[in-house]
Structure 1
Amino acid sequence: MSMEHHLGIVTAGSLNKGIEVKLDGAASIEDMAVGRYVTIEGNKRRFFGMITDVSLGVTDPALTVSPPSDDGFLSEILTGTSAYGSLHVAPYLTIGGTETAIDGPQPVKTIPGHFSPVKEASAADIELVFGKEDAKKFWIGNPLDMEVKLCLDLQNLAKRSNGIFGKSGTGKTFLTRMLLIGLLQKSAAVNLVFDMHSEYGWAGTFEGKGRKVKALKQLFPSKVAVFTLDEENSRQRGVSTDFVVRIGLEEIEPEDISLLRQTLNLTDAAVEAVYQLRRHYGKGWFTAAEDIEDSATLDELKIHESTFQNLRRGLNTIRRLPFIAPNAPGDVVDTMLKYLESGKHVVLEFGRYTDITAYMLVANLLTRRIYASYRDRTEKAVAADSGYPTPLVITIEEAHKFLNSGVASQTIFGTIAREMRKYSVTLLIIDQRPSGIDDEIMSQLGTKITCLLDSEKDIDAVLSGVSGKNELKNVLAKLSSRQQALIFGHAVPMPVAFTPREYGSDYGDWGDTAAQVTDKEIEELWE
């Protein structure tokens, strides 16, 4: 074993609580960092683990009472012997032993013996665990303080719903944009993005700098379609759009109103009244409700006057949305499905209509109908054992509004998250308040990518049900406020703290515009 990367030896530990490592005197404790990787050379196996804590220890307690603070020579003699550094290592995998030569890295089921040597994980070790960039694996970044590429199998990622979390300004949008590009490049799935702040379609912005950067449509014009709710805003921004979305009153269902109960300040009785109106008037219930003026009609419908007035105020809020029309031209769902079925990715920009009412109404309404189409197509494909639809990833922001404990069981998004790609549809949810998302939904997410969180409730929500929660909490707490994240779950063999990749001239295939993008433009594209 090369002594150049030798760190120390195992002195104690357990499978559940982790391994204690005593640092050699030659290894500087200041070079050790939470989130970095080490390998432990057991007699029969090599163990791969993560540093989750760094501490100082002494063999003689008297040294803590009377330290040799003024004697540099004595301090140097004692360092590494009577006074030493310790690492706490969480072992995750066994690699490179006889048992794993064929099957690859395996979950750890035992621990190394006393005095087993510990060294820094090499680039070859990282590649053995996470794989190399290829036709399926996408380079997402680099493990902390390492130059080796960290790669994700995006087809594996798309098999389940996933989440990206972090407080405002930590880079959630940047990570989301990068994953969407990866899914597009690797043809792992088609994306339907409900782009609340117009960051993913034509152009986005640097975090906190206001500068524009190219997004999916500019980079891959033949593979991405931009739909818009705000044609005027798109025109002012110079966006090349493919379809202008209008929502007809007859397309609005009681389920859409139920989801907006809190946003519209509706009572339970008002929500129930919507279902009564739908049963009585059919698809034209919204327009019929606007025309009700007499108490006799309400008595016939068994709706109390105060309940109806509460409902009417909510319906008026929806009616005033500029993209709502009595009779919408064209069918937006059919158009979206045609693009998705042809392998094109769809981004729906909301322009100036960033009010949460507009976002929740449109996202819920369109997702319900698209999901119903995918469900029918999948059931027919199963019966015929052919013609399966291309996997679809639906991206939503402000996810806690759709998936909180009060509404998750009733929304289409809760259904999709629980079904785990049963009908070839999964979610990519983005949120800065994961504690607001229903616990069952959080437990169903396959992979989570989390930037820094400052709320204990949010941290506990993200890490709920995860093995080694306390160790990962230490790693998460030590992340930088920007450009660092922790990923764990179904798509990675073990948790990994990483720095997202820089988009420089080595990015590779930029799609249809590759030949026209200069090195300077590429270097300025991403932060």
Structure 2
Amino acid sequence: MEGIRMVVDMEKLAERSSGVFGKSGTGKTFLTRLLLSGLLREDVATCLVFDMHNEYGWEAEGERGKRVKGLRQLFGEQVAIFTLDPESAQRRQIKYDSAVQIPFSALEPDDLVTLQNLLGISEAGINAAYTLHSVWKREWLERFLRFDKDDISFLVEEYNQHPGTLSALYRKLYFLTRFPFLRPEVKEDSARQILEHLLSRKSVVLEFGRYGRSLEAYILVANYLTRRIHEEYVRRKEAAEGGLGEEPPQLIIVIEEAHKFLDPTVARQTIFGVIAREMRKYNVTLLVVDQRPSGIDDEVMSQIATRITCLLDNEADVRAVLSGVSGAGALRDVLARLDTRQQALVFGHAVPMPMVVKVREYGTPEFYASLNAERKAPTEDTRALLWGTEEDDYL
């Protein structure tokens, strides 16, 4: 059918976790930009975007090779840009607000759990990390990476740690020393800076610069910052319930390569798995962007309330994205017939019914004009922002 107007309820999209899925090259990034533009325009949530490839904050190349505006250029002071790589930002002439630096003393063993499979750290190694933390507290990582002979002997003799386990853990963790954003001391608490922006209803895009090519850096930093922000949201939400303060604003955390954070072996131990299972309890939800939904834990996937799915050609991925959905058989046939670009199947909490849509092109003059138009009917206006007007062709 053509000309059907579909309402995307931005408040419902924000209040529970959602996902954008599709194989490589189907336009997930541009679709995510459209969703973020709708959320920010309607002011229903603040967003924290872990921008792996520097595609959301500042201008970037569009679908037809032209430069298109980023969220900062579209929404001005409503969006702050942080960077993990100031040199890259300066070369690209990005006007960023602050550079993220993390002290070794702030990292805890829980921050490393998501890296366990990626780095090949054994269970014995993870247990050893917790022992190191209990013995040396905030100094545990920096002191361990010095690998002092007397310190190692002390751990072996007093805490029954196996020398081979400690040596293996040292080799696995030494990679941290090659990231300049990890330092013995820092001047500013980056996690606190980002949190203050979010609490003041200002969205944050964290660009990774050249470190976006390192999955280890992306997972480590996203997990580190999200754990601390979530802890503060829990504290403030509980205080508000006790009449001791205001609730924190609704927050959406955007992560790419989501299956690396949410695969079955680590999902129950990571902060992202916790957030997905909590649904909206503490005003924090996820927007996951992924080309391999089959790699996401089944329980977490069941909490993805709104799913926007571009073409998938892997049967396991199709099964995963349709898991728990009524009428999955019919939707499977629909998914198989999607075009490779600018088409998506949308279903779940934020829409009245499953529907295939022609995705509006991001970065056109018409798109920019729609952002500046007066909002007389928010839900209809946002639908037009995301999917075009009724004069557009719908499939």
* Paired residues for 1:202-213 under 5 Å: 202-207=58-63, 210-213=65-68
Match of 1:468 in 2: 327
Query: Contact 2:276–2:303 at 8 Å: present in 1 too?
Result: yes
Q: 1:454 and 2:313 equivalent?
A: yes
Q: 1:384 and 2:243 equivalent?
A: yes
Aligned mates of 1:206, 1:233 — CA distance in 2: 20
Match of 2:54 in 1: 198
Q: 1:269 and 2:124 equivalent?
A: yes
Match of 2:385 in 1: none
Amino acid at match of 2:36: L
Q: Say which of 170, 177, 193 aligns to 1:319.
A: 177
The structure carrying a bigger strand percent of its residues is 1
Match of 2:202 in 1: 344
Runs of at least 5 residues in structure 1 that lack an aligned partner in the other structure: 1-35, 37-145, 513-525
Give the number of equivalent residue pairs.
Answer: 368
CA 290–166 in structure 1, closer or farther in 2 if over 3 Å, else same = same
Aligned mates of 1:473, 1:306 — CA distance in 2: 50
Aligned mates of 2:340, 2:281 — CA distance in 1: 37
Match of 2:224 in 1: 365
Query: Contact 1:250–1:326 at 8 Å: present in 2 too?
Result: yes
Match of 1:153 in 2: 9
Amino acid at match of 2:167: Q
Aligned mates of 2:305, 2:114 — CA distance in 1: 25
Aligned mates of 1:151, 1:225 — CA distance in 2: 29
Aligned mates of 1:347, 1:157 — CA distance in 2: 19
Q: 1:330 and 2:185 equivalent?
A: no
TM-score by length of structure 1 reads 0.68
Match of 2:27 in 1: 171
Amino acid at match of 1:175: L
Query: Contact 2:100–2:181 at 8 Å: present in 1 too?
Result: yes
Following TM superposition, by how much is the alpha carbon of 1:482 offset from its aligned partner in structure 2, in angstroms? 0.6
Query: Contact 2:147–2:170 at 8 Å: present in 1 too?
Result: no
Q: The residue matched to 1:372 in structure 2 has which SS? A: helix
CA 239–511 in structure 1, closer or farther in 2 if over 3 Å, else same = farther
Following TM superposition, by how much is the alpha carbon of 1:150 offset from its aligned partner in structure 2, in angstroms? 2.6
Following TM superposition, by how much is the alpha carbon of 1:309 offset from its aligned partner in structure 2, in angstroms? 1.3
Amino acid at match of 1:367: T
Match of 2:266 in 1: 407
Match of 1:297 in 2: 154
Identity of aligned residues (%): 50
The structure carrying a bigger helix percent of its residues is 2
Deviations 1:472-496 (A, max 9, x none): 0000100001110001111112101
Following TM superposition, by how much is the alpha carbon of 1:402 offset from its aligned partner in structure 2, in angstroms? 0.4
Following TM superposition, by how much is the alpha carbon of 1:267 offset from its aligned partner in structure 2, in angstroms? 1.3
Query: Contact 1:228–1:241 at 8 Å: present in 2 too?
Result: yes
RMSD: 1.7
Q: Say which of 238, 243, 253 aligns to 1:394.
A: 253
Q: Say which of 352, 357, 360 aligns to 1:501.
A: 360
Q: 1:221 and 2:80 equivalent?
A: no
Aligned mates of 1:264, 1:329 — CA distance in 2: 30
Aligned mates of 2:371, 2:333 — CA distance in 1: 37
Runs of at least 5 residues in structure 2 that lack an aligned partner in the other structure: 374-387, 389-395
Following TM superposition, by how much is the alpha carbon of 1:322 offset from its aligned partner in structure 2, in angstroms? 1.7
TM-score by length of structure 2 reads 0.90
CA 385–288 in structure 1, closer or farther in 2 if over 3 Å, else same = closer
Match of 1:187 in 2: 43
Match of 1:69 in 2: none
Higher relative contact order (CA 8 A, sep 6+): 2
Amino acid at match of 1:191: C
Q: Which has the larger radius of gyration?
A: 1
Moved more, 255-264 or 174-183: 255-264
Query: Contact 1:220–1:510 at 8 Å: present in 2 too?
Result: no
Following TM superposition, by how much is the alpha carbon of 1:291 offset from its aligned partner in structure 2, in angstroms? 2.8
* Paired residues for 1:399-438 under 5 Å: 399-438=258-297
Aligned mates of 1:465, 1:271 — CA distance in 2: 34
* Paired residues for 1:28-47 under 5 Å: 36=1
